[in-house]
């Protein structure tokens, strides 16, 4: 049985799709996808020897060596363009996920669905999705072991549709807010995790602002101004 976070990612995967799980670690998701019959085979990759070995061991124990192909290597570099149409990248920093997408442009060009779960820097990741022409079709905030995770389901789209998704927030000077918390999440005002996340971030930034010295150099002044803009975007949404 998968954790709620991995279960939501699995639920977004189309039946019969060609999946790559980047940073698979224990390979729990690929094993579940094949065992549940959602897909016939999966490629599971990890860049670190230890997790790669763990994945291989678990796949062997599940007797799925012929359907879960475990590969050692970084990001999307372990597959050929067209070999997969769906990519899962979960449990890494948003900056790392954005770099993986940047470095794998040739593979990404043939990918239809992206299922992502950044541990942080979700704003940086959503900016990367806009740059690569992916529109967000669903988002969830899922609680697991006392922590709330952002889960993003994005599909390749046109530049026009990608821009349209953020236009409402751009018009209200809330582009940073929309990237950080998600345009769909923010449209679900009744969703308690979204409000809690925005409130927690507001308190975090207010704390930083309170500690920054008023009389300081140019860099501090710029930082104060940036935080004040973030706070204003959050307050206007709250």
Site for ligand SAM, rule CB under 6 A: 6, 22-25, 45-48, 51, 74-75, 90-92, 96, 100
Q: Which residues contact 200 (CB under 8 A, 6 or more apart)?
A: none
Residue (53 or 167) nearer to ligand SAM, CB:
53
CA 227 to centroid of chain Cα atoms: 23
**In the bound complex, what is the minimum distance in angstroms from residue 161's beta carbon to ligand SAM?**
28
**In the bound complex, what is the minimum distance in angstroms from residue 209's beta carbon to ligand SAM?**
31
Least Cα distance to 114 among 159, 71, 79, 76 occurs for: 76
Strand positions, DSSP E, 99-214: 113-118, 134-144, 147-156
Helices 94-103 & 122-131 angle (0-180, nearest 10): 20
Q: Are 41 and 67 in contact (CB under 8 A)?
A: yes
Residue (31 or 198) nearer to ligand SAM, CB:
31
**In the bound complex, what is the minimum distance in angstroms from residue 84's beta carbon to ligand SAM?**
14
Residue (93 or 133) nearer to ligand SAM, CB:
93
Residue (9 or 136) nearer to ligand SAM, CB:
9
**In the bound complex, what is the minimum distance in angstroms from residue 3's beta carbon to ligand SAM?**
7
């Amino acid at each position: 049985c998968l954790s709620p976070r991995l279960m939501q990612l699995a639920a977004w995967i189309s039946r019969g799709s060609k999946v790559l799980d980047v940073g698979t670690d224990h390979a729990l998701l690929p094993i579940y996808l094949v065992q549940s019959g959602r897909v016939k085979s999966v490629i599971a990759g990890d860049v670190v020897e230890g997790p790669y070995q763990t994945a291989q061991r678990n796949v062997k124990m599940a007797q799925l060596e012929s359907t879960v192909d475990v590969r050692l290597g970084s990001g999307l570099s372990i597959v050929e363009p067209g070999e997969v149409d769906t990519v899962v990248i979960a449990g890494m920093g948003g900056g790392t996920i954005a770099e993986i997408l940047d470095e794998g442009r040739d593979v990404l060009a043939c990918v239809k669905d992206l299922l992502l779960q950044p541990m942080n820097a979700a704003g940086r990741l959503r900016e990367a999705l806009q740059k690569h022409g992916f529109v967000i079709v669903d988002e969830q905030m899922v609680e697991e072991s006392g922590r709330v995770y952002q889960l993003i389901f994005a599909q390749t789209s046109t530049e026009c549709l990608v821009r349209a998704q953020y236009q409402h927030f751009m018009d209200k000077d809330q582009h940073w807010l929309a990237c950080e918390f998600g345009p769909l999440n923010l449209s679900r005002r009744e969703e308690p995790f979204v409000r809690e996340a925005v409130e927690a971030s507001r308190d975090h930034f207010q704390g930083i602002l309170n500690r920054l010295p008023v009389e300081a150099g140019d860099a501090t002044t710029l930082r104060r101004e940036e935080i004040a803009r973030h706070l204003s975007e959050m307050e206007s949404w709250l």
